[in-house]
Amino acid sequence: MTFFSTLIFCAVLACNHAATNKILPIQFKRMDSPLTSMLQENVHPNVVTAVLNDETKNNSSFPLTYNFMNNEYYTEIYLGRPGQKFLVSFDTTWGDSWVPSSSCSTWSIACKMRNKYNEKKSSSSIKTPFNFRVSLGSSDLAGEIFYDLLNLNGINVTGQMFAATTEIPWIFVFSSFDGVFGMSLSYYNKIIPVMWNLKKQKIIDQMVFSFYFHKDGGSMVLGGVDPAHYKGNFTYLEVVKSDPPQWKLQVDSISLTGSKNVTINVCKSGCKAIMSTGGSQINGPSKEIAIIHKFIKAKALAGGRYLVSCSEVPKLPNITISFGNTPYVLQGQDYIEEVKIRWIGPKCLSLFTNNYDDKDDLWYLGGAFMSRYYTTFDMSNGRIGFATAK
């Protein structure tokens, strides 16, 4: 075999390997976040703010509740045999997976308005001896843990663990989804995440998943990436070591440059950010978020949300988030969204929002960032990759 024949042969092998790489694509739909829904249902901004402030009191677990208030991206799954349909968020800030239980109280409005899992109607349901409980605000999310058949985009995953919750905090009334499937690097409450099952059952080849977002929804690929949604090469960053492990990155700077080349940096000494796939927002420490909003001349609305004039969006300064000495630029159209609020009409809201826990100094980068930069999560190597979305 000649040298050139060998090259061609190797190239064919590589192409065949790429073609046979097992992946599972999932489509997302985007809905109004619970916070936006509250505003659209004529809940006054002062009431929204008061409710969220009340939930934060003496509660270190409130960030999970607040992240839920920003969840917007959902997909359909089926649990059991025959399948019971649920609308869930695949969220990298959650370690657990859960859906409501048919055993939850009939007095619970948050439970009543959701699809509910009934283990008695599934021939493949196996109840474990383990209970599930997470403190969220002034109440708990709690229930029992089961194994059952999971169907994702027509693919069956056997023996998937999840919690069927019998207690759901009242604030979930305003959300559109049924439950959450955790995509964090770590898991809690003995619930093994779906990625482990997918790999074990050889449904995917790699412990990698990727997200693509746009204004109407997006997609996720389990087991790889989708070349149709990015261009160029990926730049990879190792996650910051933490206990428990999280999709956390070291940030070099977060800067804005306005008129007359005036630049501010709200992350001068470096900071850390967690990639958050549940919603569009970029959450950060309240002091730094206030500086950003003052710089872009935004006005407070409710629940940590701020308004800008829609006509000013094209003129807003770029925001540059730098990782590993590589700058990632967001334009005004990336970090501002137009929302139609019934009682005040269309408004342009900043996607930068406060962390409600004043002690939380982390940043949470959601769809506002990932709609501009296609993001892949490598579980085996503990790293995150970014490429320009298309």
The reported pLDDT for the residue numbered 45 is: 57
- Quote the percentage of the chain above a pLDDT of 70: 83
Average of pLDDT values for 209-222? 93
Assess whether pLDDT exceeds 50 at residue 10: no
Q: Is the peptide bond before 346 cis (omega within 30 degrees of 0)?
A: no
Predicted TM-score of the model (pTM): 0.87
Quick one: tokens of 283?
């959450």
Burial status of residue 147 (CB atoms within 10 A of its CB: 0-12, 13-18, 19 or more): middle
H/E element holding 63?
A: helix 62-68
β-pairing verdict for 319-323 and 253-257: antiparallel
Q: Which residues pair with 179 in a beta bridge?
A: 88
The reported pLDDT for the residue numbered 176 is: 77
Which range among 75-79, 98-102, 136-140 shows the weakest confidence by mean pLDDT?
136-140
Instruction: Name which residue leads in pLDDT, 140 or 166.
Output: 166
The mean predicted confidence, pLDDT, of the chain is: 86
Rounded to whole angstroms, the Cα distance separating 315 from 296 reads 10
CA count, 13 A, side-chain hemisphere, 350: 31
Assess whether pLDDT exceeds 60 at residue 120: yes
Assess whether pLDDT exceeds 50 at residue 64: no
Q: How confident is the model at residue 2 (pLDDT cuts 50, 70, 90)?
A: very low
Q: What is the pLDDT of residues 223-261, one digit of tens each?
A: 999 999 999 999 999 999 998 899 999 999 999 998 888
User: Of the ranges 14-28, 214-228, 295-309, which is most confident?
Assistant: 214-228
Quick one: tokens of 311?
């006509």
Which residues, 6 or more positions from 227, have their beta carbon under 8 angstroms from its beta carbon? none
Contact 208, 379 (CB under 8 A): yes
Three-class secondary structure of residue 18 per DSSP: helix
CA angle, residues 154, 149, 164, in degrees to nearest 5: 120
- Taking Cα atoms as reference points, which of 324, 312, 199 lies closest to residue 253? 324
The reported pLDDT for the residue numbered 48 is: 55
In the chain, the domains with their CATH numbers are 28-222 (2.40.70.10), 227-389 (2.40.70.10)
**Angstrom distances, CA of residue 32 to CA of 12, 35, 113, 203, 348:** 46, 8, 16, 32, 14
* Helix locations, 137-219, DSSP H: 194-200
Assess whether pLDDT exceeds 80 at residue 322: yes
Q: What is the pLDDT of residues 325-382, one digit of tens each?
A: 999 999 999 999 988 777 677 889 999 998 877 889 999 999 999 999 999 999 999 9
Rounded to whole angstroms, the Cα distance separating 249 from 270 reads 11
DSSP E strand boundaries for 14-66: 24-30
Average of pLDDT values for 285-305? 91
The reported pLDDT for the residue numbered 33 is: 65
Burial status of residue 169 (CB atoms within 10 A of its CB: 0-12, 13-18, 19 or more): buried
Burial status of residue 294 (CB atoms within 10 A of its CB: 0-12, 13-18, 19 or more): exposed
The reported pLDDT for the residue numbered 110 is: 86
The reported pLDDT for the residue numbered 279 is: 86
Assess whether pLDDT exceeds 70 at residue 65: no
Assess whether pLDDT exceeds 50 at residue 18: no
Rounded to whole angstroms, the Cα distance separating 297 from 285 reads 18
Average of pLDDT values for 18-39? 75
The secondary structure of residue 246, as a DSSP letter, is: -
Q: Which residues pair with 95 in a beta bridge?
A: none
Rounded to whole angstroms, the Cα distance separating 221 from 374 reads 11
Quick one: tokens of 213?
């977002």
Q: What is the pLDDT of residues 171-206, one digit of tens each?
A: 777 777 899 999 999 887 789 999 999 999 999 999
